[in-house]
Every structure is written in C-alpha cells, then in structure tokens.
C-alpha cells in the first residue's frame, strides 16, 4: 500500500511540475488525477506543498536575473519598482488566501465536477483571449506599472478555485491589461515565487499535526519530481508562447475537463 501511494505521489509530482507554469491548472490536474487514482493526502497538504518544488525550479532558472534585480534595486529605479510591483500583486492572495483557506481546502478541493467545469470554462476564455488582436503596452515583465500589477494580483485570486489556474488567471489578466504574451508569462513566473512559497508555508503549518512519516515521504517524492519537470517547462514555455500563443493550452483544458466530467458523470 505504501509503495502504491509513493508511485501515485511520483506521478502527481511530475504532473505538478509539467502543469504549474502553463495555464491549465496544476492543482486541478493533480486533484482530478488523485481522485481517479484513489489518492488522498493527509489534510490535502500534498497538493499544495509540492508546489514549492516548482517554485525552486523558477528560482534556479531565474537565479541570475533575480540576483541582478535585488543587487541593483538600491540604485536602479526600474529594478526597485519591479520588486514593489510583484509585492503588490502578491498582497491580495495573502489576505484572501488566509481568510478563505478552510473553505478552499474542505469544499472546493473536494468538488471534482467543479474542477472539471472550471477547466473547460478557462479553456474557452483562453482561446477567446488568444484570438483577440491586442496591442501590448508593456513588452517586458519589468515594465508592468504598479497599478496594473495590483490588478493582476486580484485576478490571481480567482485561481483559488481549483481548475481555474494561477498562471492562467495571471496571464489572461496581464494580456487584457496590455502586457505582451512573453511578458505576461514571465510576470506570472515571478509572481508565483512569493505566492506559492507562502501557500507552502501556511498550509504546512496549518496541517502539521496530521503529517505523519508516510505523508512526508509522499511529499518528498512529489517535491523532487515536481522540481525536475518544472525546470524543463519553464525553459521551454517562454519561447513557445512568444511564437504560438496560448491556443494549445485552451484546447488542452477543454479536452481534459470534458473527459473528466464525463468520467465523473459515469460514476468513476
């Protein structure tokens, strides 16, 4: 039984890393996959905590840029403003996430039909936005104004409904607010770091009493594999969306959501 749970944790860890930074909802994918595999973690912490592996993947890919931004912020107004912009975008998730944590974990995480429906709805929205003839005002993630960053932060909170997608919400919001396709994806990457690190720490603290040795082993396996697979996705994604946009991910969401909803309706 323990071996089966570790295998499931490995599969879900890879799935987390592959889907965290593309706009298809990693949480929605691993909750639905876990449902069909019969995997249920203690306190539903696994699904949140392994996201730190994906955060470390972004940190490893962007380590040089992060160092440049933070080391020059005291003398470079653009670097300082970018740090403030990400911090502003992060704030709404802190407030709403803490207030709604119990409802999210006990109700929304336990409603697979809602997750499947949100995948389909989000896919339709992504296809619609991808076909709009938008003229970017801000080509680079570091050019995003503070007011726009705060709006993106509020839009990110929609992703607290699993199946919506954190990256999908922030990317769509950024695109509609005038950020280029590449800039929107990159801003989403940087915003993911404080957002998911905070979610990891808060969820681990809230569920510390129910995490036994077996749960920690599952988290460790999922964490490592999420990191490895996320590194590959982060390096690939920016180039892909710059050339092809987001239509592929819209169709992906619609297909996965439709298949999941059909299986759930059949009693699986």
pLDDT of 44 reads: 64
Tokens of 205: 């603290």
Q: What angle do CA 264, 168, 154 make, to 5 degrees?
A: 110
How many Å is the maximal CA-CA distance in the chain? Answer: 61
pLDDT of residue 43: 58
CB neighbourhood size of 205 (10 A): 8
Q: What is the pLDDT of residue 262?
A: 92
* Helix 77-106 and helix 63-72, axial crossing angle in degrees, nearest 10: 120
Give the per-residue pLDDT at 260: 93
Q: Are 58 and 189 in contact (CB under 8 A)?
A: yes
Indicate the pTM of the whole model. Answer: 0.83
Q: Are 197 and 55 in contact (CB under 8 A)?
A: yes
What was the pLDDT predicted at 192? 87
Mean pLDDT, contiguous 10-residue spans, the chain (268 residues): 74 86 86 84 68 82 88 92 95 89 79 92 92 90 95 93 89 93 89 85 73 74 86 81 85 95 88
Domain boundaries, the chain: 2-265
């Amino acid at each position: 039984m323990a071996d089966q749970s570790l295998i499931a944790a490995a599969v879900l860890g890879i799935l987390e890393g592959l889907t965290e930074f593309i706009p298809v909802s990693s949480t929605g994918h691993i909750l639905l996959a876990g449902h069909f595999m019969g995997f249920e973690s203690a306190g539903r912490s696994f699904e949140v905590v392994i996201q730190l592996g994906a955060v470390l993947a972004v940190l490893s890919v962007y380590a040089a840029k992060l160092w440049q931004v933070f080391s020059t912020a005291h003398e470079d107004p653009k670097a300082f403003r970018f740090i403030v912009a990400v911090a502003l975008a992060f704030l709404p998730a802190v407030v709403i996430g803490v207030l709604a944590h119990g409802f999210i974990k006990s109700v929304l995480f336990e409603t697979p039909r809602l997750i499947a429906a949100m995948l389909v709805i989000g896919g339709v929205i992504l296809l619609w936005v991808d076909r709009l003839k938008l003229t970017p005002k801000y080509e680079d993630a570091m050019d995003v104004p503070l007011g726009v960053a705060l709006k993106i932060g509020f839009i990110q909170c929609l992703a607290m409904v699993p199946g919506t997608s954190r990256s999908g919400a922030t990317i769509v919001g950024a695109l509609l607010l005038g950020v280029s396709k590449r800039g929107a994806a990159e801003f989403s990457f940087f915003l993911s770091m404080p957002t998911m690190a905070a979610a990891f720490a808060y969820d681990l603290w809230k569920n510390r009493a129910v995490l036994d040795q077996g749960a920690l082993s599952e988290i460790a396996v999922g964490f490592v594999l999420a990191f490895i697979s996320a590194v590959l996705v982060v390096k690939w994604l920016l180039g892909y969306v710059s050339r092809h946009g987001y239509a592929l991910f819209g169709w992906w969401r619609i297909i996965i959501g439709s298949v999941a909803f059909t299986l759930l309706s059949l009693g699986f």
